[in-house]
Amino acid sequence: MHFLNSAAVLLTAVTWSKSDGVFDLTRSDRLPVTTPKMISGMIGGRKNAIIEPSRTGLVIIDMQNYFLHPGLSPGATKGRAIVNTTVSMVDGFRKAGIKVLWTNWGLDDFDLLTMPPAFLSGFSANGSDLQNETFGSDMGTVDGIPAGRLLMRNQWNSQLYGPLHPLQVEGVDAGTDFYFNKNRLSGMWGAQTPLGLFLQENGITTLFFGGVNTDQCVWGTFLDSYYKGFDVFLVPDISATTSPQYATDMCIYNADGDGFVVNSTTILPAIA
Ligand SMILES: *[C@@H]1O[C@H](CO)[C@@H](O)[C@H](O)[C@H]1NC(C)=O
Ligand SMILES: *[C@@H]1O[C@H](CO)[C@@H](O)[C@H](O)[C@H]1NC(C)=O
Ligand SMILES: *[C@@H]1O[C@H](CO)[C@@H](O)[C@H](O)[C@H]1NC(C)=O
Ligand SMILES: *[C@@H]1O[C@H](CO)[C@@H](O)[C@H](O)[C@H]1NC(C)=O
């Protein structure tokens, strides 16, 4: 069999197949398969799918101190409550040989020069101090820790929260995990991003999504990935938001049409 390996072929949706209510996402008619895994009993209308682990990634969005630390986001109780579930998900994906892709706000000074006003305003302290209290401004100290510049890369406020930070460092050192900076809510917007380039170069077609906030950065990255042709899975029990429930309901409703919806409790036994 002749195996093609261009991004266009990898992402060609017509190479899904379906029989007996099972979506086969492995593209095995064109690409080699290793140990495909069947995930059954998913939430929503699409109940069963088969994935190819070597072409799959787990994308964890924005589980950063800025969004989760009680000193910076006191209201993020739901986000803090999914930290342990996220740790279990990461452990299970590593054991299954599936890449873990930490994707976070991590601006540099060039990003600040080109940041649109709507973003500067949206991330400002009160929507009116457009320049001084938004991306890149010094956040002072939090619990005696210098928080650094707001959502700039390599600052304490942009570091992963709690046990997720050592987990990520350990995974990147071991080569099971990869770390990507992003400069918008979506990590997949525009012509190309660090995450998008990695997916293309590694032939990844299938993505699972968790993190915060479900309806904002998770949803933005999920939707852009769907638009670009990736198979997308939203994982509600490793996703959280500070928004009203209807915002999450909208994401779950649409994710079931764009891709798939399934909890970690269903995925982990299936890929073990
Ligand atoms: C998360 O796991 C840690 C370590 O096992 C435990 O101490 C903590 O109570 C757990 N938190 C929640 C919210 O379950
Ligand atoms: C905006 O927030 C800053 C700091 O939090 C404060 O000093 C300033 O007075 C606020 N401006 C308005 C218009 O609320
Ligand atoms: C930002 O802060 C500087 C110095 O405190 C002040 O002169 C300037 O007016 C502020 N700009 C805005 C947009 O608030
Ligand atoms: C999936 O997880 C969400 C969030 O924890 C929960 O509300 C929902 O009941 C779970 N669904 C199933 C079928 O386990």
Ligand 1 in contact with 81 (CB < 6 A)?
A: yes
Ligand nearest to the CA of 264: 4
Specify if 120 maps to a domain: no
Q: Check whether 13 has a pLDDT greater than 50.
A: no
Tell me if the pTM is above 0.85: yes
Specify if 144 maps to a domain: no
Ligand nearest to the CA of 133: 2
Specify if 85 maps to a domain: yes
- Contact assessment for residue 255 and residue 223, using Cβ atoms and an 8 Å cutoff: no
pLDDT at 15: 82
pLDDT at 9: 54
- What is the CA(66)–ligand 2 centre distance, in A? 19
Ligand 1 in contact with 77 (CB < 6 A)?
A: no
- Contact assessment for residue 180 and residue 207, using Cβ atoms and an 8 Å cutoff: no
**pLDDT (tens digit, 9 = 90+) per residue, 170-222?**
999 999 999 999 999 999 999 999 999 999 999 999 999 999 999 999 999 99
Residue 142 CB burial class (10 angstroms; 0-12, 13-18, ≥19): middle
Ligand 2 in contact with 121 (CB < 6 A)?
A: no
Ligand 4 in contact with 263 (CB < 6 A)?
A: yes
Specify if 182 maps to a domain: yes
Which residue among 126, 132, 133 is best mutated to probe the pocket of ligand 3, counting the most ligand atoms within 8 A of its Cβ? 132
Counting residues of the chain whose pLDDT is more than 90, the rounded percentage is: 89
Low-confidence winner among 32-36, 97-101, 158-162 (lowest mean pLDDT): 32-36
- Which residue has a Cα nearest atom 10 of ligand 1? 84
Specify if 238 maps to a domain: yes
pLDDT at 3: 47
Q: Check whether 5 has a pLDDT greater than 90.
A: no
Does the N-terminal peptide bond of residue 254 adopt cis geometry, omega within 30 degrees of 0? no
- Which residue has a Cα nearest atom 1 of ligand 2? 126
Ligand 4 in contact with 187 (CB < 6 A)?
A: no
- Which residue has a Cα nearest atom 13 of ligand 2? 128
Q: Check whether 2 has a pLDDT greater than 70.
A: no
The candidate with the shortest Cα–Cα distance to 196, out of 6, 7, 36, is 7
Specify the CATH number for the domain of residue 234: 3.40.50.850
When pLDDT is cut at 50, 70 and 90, the band that residue 132 belongs to is confident
- What is the CA(84)–ligand 1 centre distance, in A? 6
Ligand 1 in contact with 130 (CB < 6 A)?
A: no
Which residue pairs from 95-98 have beta carbons closer than 8 angstroms and sit at least 24 positions apart in sequence?
A: 95/272, 96/37, 96/53, 96/271, 96/272, 97/53, 97/54, 98/53, 98/56, 98/57, 98/58, 98/271
What span, in angstroms and rounded, lies between the C-alpha atoms of 84 and 210? Answer: 13
Low-confidence winner among 22-31, 49-58, 123-132, 230-239 (lowest mean pLDDT): 123-132
Ligand 2 in contact with 129 (CB < 6 A)?
A: yes
pLDDT at 8: 56
Specify if 137 maps to a domain: no
What's the rounded mean pLDDT across residues 221-233? 97
Question: Which residues are 261's β-sheet partners?
Answer: 43, 234
pLDDT at 7: 58
Ligand nearest to the CA of 240: 4
What span, in angstroms and rounded, lies between the C-alpha atoms of 196 and 153? Answer: 19
Ligand 1 in contact with 141 (CB < 6 A)?
A: no
When pLDDT is cut at 50, 70 and 90, the band that residue 30 belongs to is confident
Domain residues for the domain of 91 are 53-106+153-271
**What's the domain count of the chain?**
1
pLDDT at 77: 98
Specify if 246 maps to a domain: yes
What span, in angstroms and rounded, lies between the C-alpha atoms of 182 and 180? Answer: 7
Residue 20 CB burial class (10 angstroms; 0-12, 13-18, ≥19): exposed
pLDDT at 161: 98
**pLDDT (tens digit, 9 = 90+) per residue, 86-119?**
999 999 999 999 999 999 999 999 999 999 999 9
Specify if 75 maps to a domain: yes
pLDDT at 29: 86
